[in-house]
Structure 1
Amino acid sequence: MRLPLPIHHDQPCSSYNAPGCHCRATCASLHMTLLAPQINSAKFLDCHGALGYVPGREPGYWDWRYANPVGIGHPLFEASDLIADFLRNAHSGLLPPIHLL
């Protein structure tokens, strides 16, 4: 599922680890993020709808240099479809009422 490119600092953004980006917990290039303090990381959907992982440095700060897609061999690979589907469903479910906020 390809999602529309988000706008970040008034520019279309397709990368969650663009040079010079200093976003803290989430970035406009991420459509949906699941913070997981239990394992000091966050999971997110990138602009292509793929599940990604970013390790935490300290509370509220992420080490984007080491962010990567959750693929074969990743410790979260077995749960990746479940997590990605959850994030996609949450994103879709939040779109209709977003104009009311």
Structure 2
Amino acid sequence: YAVHEGKPFFEPLIKYITASPVVAMVIEGPNAIEIVRRTMGATAPAEAAPGTIRADFALEIGRNLVHGSDGPETARQEIALWFKEEELISWPRAADQWIYE
């Protein structure tokens, strides 16, 4: 969240995201960033499409429940923040040949 440092909401944001346990995960695959962001919904819960995480479970823009990287470079930085290289596992799933062209 260094990009938000100095903004009025930065300190409350850091306090909020460090107040309780989090579940950090790395999701990979074709168009993973786009698909995950679509599943999360718009940042403002009131503007998020029904069926998305933020529309269904969040109430405020500052506490919108979920974060996803906005691009490959940001994803690399954020993955490095949470995980050591040896903690990351990538493998081909048996069903992939039937799902992806």
Shorter-chain-normalised TM-score: which range? under 0.3
TM-score (norm 2): 0.26
Considering fraction of residues, name the structure with more helix.
Answer: 2
TM-score, structure 1 as length reference: 0.26
**Whose strand proportion is higher, 1 or 2?**
1
